Structure 1
Amino acid sequence: MSATLQGTMEDLIKIFYHYSGKEGDKYKLNKKELKNMLQVELSEFLNGSNDSSMVEKIMSDLDENKDGEVDFQEFVVLVAALTVACNSFFVEYLKSEDCSK
């Protein structure tokens, strides 16, 4: 993993294009590619959930232009939303640790 913000941005781009274009448009993730990416890269977020309904919900939420695929911009929205959620959890955890001291 990268230790810099620039490196992290590069990794994000590489990850997207690693999964996109295996079928159809090489600049977009179709449902199967999105599911594969989520299972491999974000398996802890899918843990214990119904994979197909989760992928359907994520695809529906991300696919702003309703073309049945997720482009890079739509993908970044997912990453940003998950990052914000993780940060909120982390902040709450730190606050609870401070209170227990």
Structure 2
Amino acid sequence: MSLPDPENASTLENAMQLMIQTFHKYSGNEGDKYTLSKAELKEMLTTELGQYLGHAKDKEAVDKVMRELDSNGDGEVDFTEFIILVGALTVACNDFFLEFNEKPAKKK
């Protein structure tokens, strides 16, 4: 199976393809090419999710994310663990925007 041609793919197929490509852009720069090391995870969080995670430069924050994501305790984040992060962050953003949009506008 190959990735769909972006020109003919649906929006969701393109989103899935971008998540796969983004993960592999950072995985394998060091060590296992199918997992993210702590350094690779930090680079990905800072570069790709900086707007949502406050630029994740804090070492303790990255360590916490790594501990929470690394469900099998191998010290690396595999694709499934990465998708859990993206899914959880997407749910949190959706909840925030729903709540934000439900607040009545302040009268002047």
Q: Same fold (TM over 0.5)?
A: yes
Aligned to 2:5: none
Q: CA 1:71/1:23 → structure 2, altered by over 3 Å: closer, same or farther?
A: same
Does the 8 Å contact 1:46/1:54 carry over to 2?
A: no
Q: Relative to total residues, which structure has the larger helix share, 1 or 2? A: 1
Q: Does 1:19 align with 2:19?
A: no
Aligned to 1:65: 72
Structure with bigger RCO (C-alpha 8 Å, 6+ apart): 1
| 1:20-39 matches, cutoff 5 A | 20-39=27-46
* Residue of 47, 52, 57 corresponding to 2:54: 47
RMSD of aligned Cα (Å): 1.8
* Residue of 93, 100, 105 corresponding to 1:100: 105
Alpha-carbon displacement from aligned partner over 1:23-77 (angstroms, at most 9, x marks no partner): 0100000000000000100112332766201110000000000000000000000
Does the 8 Å contact 2:56/2:62 carry over to 1?
A: no
| Amino acid aligned to 1:61 | E
Residue range with higher mean Cα deviation, 75-84 or 3-12? 3-12
TM-score (norm 1): 0.89
TM-score (norm 2): 0.84
Residue 100 of structure 1, CA deviation? 2.5
Aligned length in residues? 98
